[in-house]
Chains A and B, each alone.
Chain A
Amino acid sequence: MEKFTVLDGLVAPLDRPNVDTDAIIPKQFLKSIKRSGFGPNLFDEWRYLDHGEPGMDNSKRPLNPNFVLNQPKYRGAQILLARENFGCGSSREHAPWALTDFGFRAIVAPSYADIFFNNSFKNGLLPVIMPAAVVDRLFLEAEATPGFRLTIDLPRQVVVIPGGQEFRFEVDAFRKHNMVEGLDEIGLTLKQSDAIRAFEDRHRAAQPWLFV
C-alpha cells in the first residue's frame, strides 16, 4: 500500500448526503476481476449523460457539464469534500478503488458508512471525519474560492486550511500506523500465526463441531 503522510491537494465538493456505493461505482463495472481501471467510471451515472457499460471508450461519452467533477476548476482534485454517511450501501471495495484510480487520496466528511470507511484505509484513501459545522464552512470556501486546497497531515492528525488554521481529527492508532508506514496488513497479522494457532486449538476443543 502507498504510504500516506502529508497531502496538499485541490478540493472537489460533492454536496449531497448519503452518497451510496452504487452511485460511486455502478454494478455493471463490478464484473471486472481486476483492482484497477475503475476511475473512468467513478460516479458514472452522474458524470455522463449516456448509460455506461464495461468496455466503452469513456473519452467519447457525453459528459454531464453540471456534475462537479466535470468542472475544469476541479481537475486534478485529490481531496473529495462530502456530506454525512458517505459510502453507504454495498461492501464493494470497487468504491475506494474507483476513487483512488480517479486520483483521490482523501475524503473529508462528517461521517461515513462503516464498511466503506474500513475499505478506504486498506487502499491508502484517508477518510477524514470533521464536525458538520467545519464541513459546512469548507463547502462554502471550496465553492467560493477557485483553486481551494487543503493540507491533510496524517502523522499530526490535522487538516490545515488556507491561512493556516488547523482542525484536528481523530483516527484509530492501528489504521494510522499502517497507512503512514504503507504496511502490508496480512504480513503483519501473520506475525501472530502462533497466537492464531493457539486460539484455534482452544476453539476446536470448546466447539469441535466448527471444525468437522
Chain B
Amino acid sequence: MQPQTLYDKLWSSHVVSEDADGTALLYIDRHLVHEVTSPQAFEGLKLAGRRPWRIDSVVATADHNTPTRDWDQGIRDPISRTQVETLDANIREYGAKAYFPFLDARQGIVHVIGPEQGATLPGMTVVCGDSHTSTHGAFAALAFGIGTSEVEHVLATQTLNMKKAKSMLVRVDGSLRAGVTAKDVVLAVIGRIGTAGGTGCAIEFAGSVIRGLSMEGRMTLCNMAIEAGARAGMVAADDTTIEYVRGRNFAPKGDHWDRAVAYWRTLKSDEGATFDKTVVLNGGDIAPQVTWGTSPEMVGSVEGNVPDPARIEDPVKRASLERALHYMGLQPNTPITEIRIDKVFIGSCTNSRIEDLRAAATVVKGRQVAAGVKLAMVVPGSGLVKRQAESEGLDRVFRDAGFEWREPGCSMCLAMNDDRLEPGERCASTSNRNFEGRQGAGGRTHLVSPAMAAAAAIAGRFVDVRKIL
C-alpha cells in the first residue's frame, strides 16, 4: 500500500461516502460547542423540526462572553447574559455528553477543557464553531473550525460535506534554544509562510523540535495553524500524547484503553509519505518572536527592528505595511526592545495552560510589574488550570509582582467581555490575533510567548527573555 500521511489516515477513517467530484461526507466524532456560534444553529434545528443525531458527541461550555472577575455578580452585560443563558437552555433541551456552564469549577476555554477532560482523543474528528479548533490536532486528531451553518449540520447529521485539503509538512529540525517556546516556533512559521501560506492545506508539524514539545506546546502550535491559513494543524501521536491522555475524565478505560493505545500508535505519517508542500525550519535559528503589525505574519525576532516600508517594492504590500505601522503607532526601524507597553495579557486558547503559567511565573518570580504598565493580567484557561496553578503557588507569584489573577475564559483575546484595550493602548499578549481592533477598538496588540509577555510586564517594554532568565 502507498505510504499515507497522518492526514490521509484521519481523513479516510471518517469518510461515510464520496461523490464523483471528490466531495466527501465526513463523520464527526466530537462536537465542541460554545455560546457565540451555536444559538442560531440550535434555532435552525428547532425551526426545521430536527433532532440532534448523536448528542453525546457534544461537549459544551460558555467561555467567550463570561467575565473574569466578580463572578458573584453574574454576567452584568444583558446581551452577553442572554447568549450564555441561551446555551444553558439549549443544553437543557437537547442534552450533551458534558456541559461546563458559567460558574462551574471545570468551566473554561473550550480548547483548553476538551483536552483537559480527555474529550479530545487521538484519531478523532473534532469540530467547533471556532477557528482555533485546530488546537486539538495536537492529539493526532483531525480538528478544524466551522461556521454556524455547519454547527447545525453536524448537530443534525453528525457529518460535514467537504473536500480533502492539500497536505503540508512543516518540519522543525534541531532543537530550540533556552527561552524559545512553541509560540515562537509557530510565529516564526507564520512569518515564513504568511497568513495565507497554509490556505487550502492541513498542516502536519513534525521534526525533532516538535517531538520534544509537551502537549501544551503542541496545542499552542496547532492552535495557530489557522493564523497560517490552514484550517487544521496536527502532530503525530507518541508517548507524550498517550501519557497526557491517560487517566483523564473521558479517556478510554480498561480493555478499551489498551485497544485505543494500539490504534493511536499508528497515527503518524508513514515512512515515504509525500506532502503537497514542505517547509523546513531549523529550531536553533528561532529567536523569541514579537509581532509588530496587524496580522500575525507581521512578526520578527525580538532582536530586530520595525521594518521600513520604503524598502518594499510591491505597492500593495507597501501600502499594507504603512497602514499597519500607522495603526500600531510605530516608526520604521525602531528596535523592538524600545517599544513600551501599557497592558499585558497572559491567557487565551493559545497560551493559558498550566505550562504557560509556569513559564511566565518563572520570569516574574521575585520581580515587580513596571510602573508604566497600567494592567497586567493572568487569565487561566480553565477552572482546573486555575486550581492547579494555585496549588503550586503561582497565583501568589503573579499577585506579589502586581499582576491581576482572574477567572477563566477567552477574555482579552477577543474582548467580548469587559476585558479590553482602550484606543491607542499597547499590549503584550499571549493570544493569537493582532488584527485591528481585536482586543478593543483602536487597541494595539503584540503577540508573544508567555515568558516574553512576563518579561515585558517587568521591563515595561519588550525585552529578550533569554537575557533575564
> Chain A interface (Cβ within 8 Å of chain B)?
16-18, 20, 22-23, 26-28, 30-35, 45, 51, 54-55, 83-85, 88-93, 96, 111, 113-115, 118-119, 122-123, 172-174, 184-187, 189-190, 192-193, 195-196, 199-200, 203, 206-212
Contact = CB atoms under 8 A, between A and B. Distances in A.
Nearest to B133: A91
Q: Which of A27, A93, A174 has the most CB of B within 10 A?
A: A27
- Chain B interface bracket (under 10, 10 to 19, 20 to 34, 35 or more): 35 or more
A88 B196 contact: yes
B436 to A, nearest CB: 6
Contacts of B200: 114
A16 B323 contact: yes
Contacts of A85: 195-196, 199, 229
A91 B147 contact: yes
22 contacts: A18-B295, A26-B437, A27-B414, A31-B36, A33-B43, A33-B83, A35-B148, A51-B423, A83-B316, A91-B37, A92-B37, A114-B200, A115-B131, A115-B226, A118-B150, A123-B149, A185-B161, A190-B157, A196-B157, A196-B159, A199-B16, A210-B121
A97 to B, nearest CB: 9
Contact of A185 (B79, B153, B231): B153
Given A28-B416, A91-B145, A210-B121, A174 B161 contact: yes
A132 B130 CA distance: 29
Contacts of B433: 20, 22, 89-90
A17 B316 contact: yes
B229 A88 contact: yes
Interface string B220-236: 00000010011100000
Contacts of B163: 172
Nearest to B146: A91
Given A33-B40, A207-B260, A186 B50 contact: yes
A88 B226 CA distance: 9
Contacts of B39: 33
A192 B17 contact: yes
Nearest to A30: B36
A153 B53 CA distance: 37
Contact of B196 (A16, A35, A111, A193): A111
B153 A186 contact: yes
Contact of B65 (A31, A35, A84, A192): A31
B199 A192 contact: no
A186 B152 contact: yes
B71 interface: no
B316 A122 contact: no
Contacts, number: 191
Interface in B13-47: 13-14, 16-17, 19, 21, 23, 25, 27, 29, 36-37, 39-40, 43
B79 A122 contact: no
B320 interface: yes
B196 A34 contact: no
A211 to B, nearest CB: 8
A108 B326 CA distance: 28
A178 to B, nearest CB: 9
Nearest to B40: A35
A112 to B, nearest CB: 8
B468 interface: no
B321 to A, nearest CB: 11
Nearest to A189: B157
A113 B25 contact: no
Interface string B351-379: 00000000000000000000000000000
B82 interface: yes
